[in-house]
Chains A and B, each alone.
Chain A
């Protein structure tokens, strides 16, 4: 099956700093989503981005499908950005969403 690798596995930032999270995938994809898992376990949708660039406030994401990677940018980080960020992809056809292992982000004041 498709492999999804996220880097870095852990990241510690000072409040106000910027960061880039990366997601590499091993095959062509139909769908790519970024999620933020809060400390209570809920997965919050950030972006549905099989290709191109999207922005939502301080967050933006870019997926380059032909080169099999996606980037999540967080600018001016806040303590509330802490948590685990997951990238998930699925392949063409009726295939389930496959998750990476996540990037654990800690933003300290």
Chain B
């Protein structure tokens, strides 16, 4: 049973460029959430996708956008990169909890983005 997979694992970009990160959820999961983790901090919620739509969004600018495909995989796009976007980007999958909330989340290994 494949877990959550992310690509690429590492990448380096320069300010102003755009980046796309990819995520395949754990088998049987239909909900994908993206988190940003700066060095020394806990993960911060970016947004969540369910049924190919953005269902929730954290406090991130519109430069951060995403997409979910019919097979439940997802992409995170960041435009006009800033130095402060350097971070570990984590994807998590789950299936919606019957009683609401995130359900148990399972995380991928992350994509480490460095912006120069």
Contacts and interface: CB of A to CB of B under 8 A. Distances in A.
A93 B101 contact: yes
Interface stretch (A57-65, A74-82, A99-107): A99-107
Contacts of B41: 101
A95 interface: yes
A45 B107 CA distance: 8
Contacts of A94: 55-56, 100-101
Contacts, number: 73
Interface string A10-39: 000000000000000000001101010000
Contacts of A97: 33, 45, 92, 102, 105
A102 B55 CA distance: 27
B25 interface: no
27 contacts: A30-B97, A31-B97, A31-B101, A31-B102, A31-B103, A31-B104, A33-B104, A33-B105, A41-B109, A41-B112, A42-B107, A42-B109, A43-B92, A45-B107, A48-B104, A88-B105, A90-B101, A92-B100, A92-B101, A94-B55, A94-B101, A96-B48, A96-B58, A96-B102, A99-B43, A99-B44, A100-B42
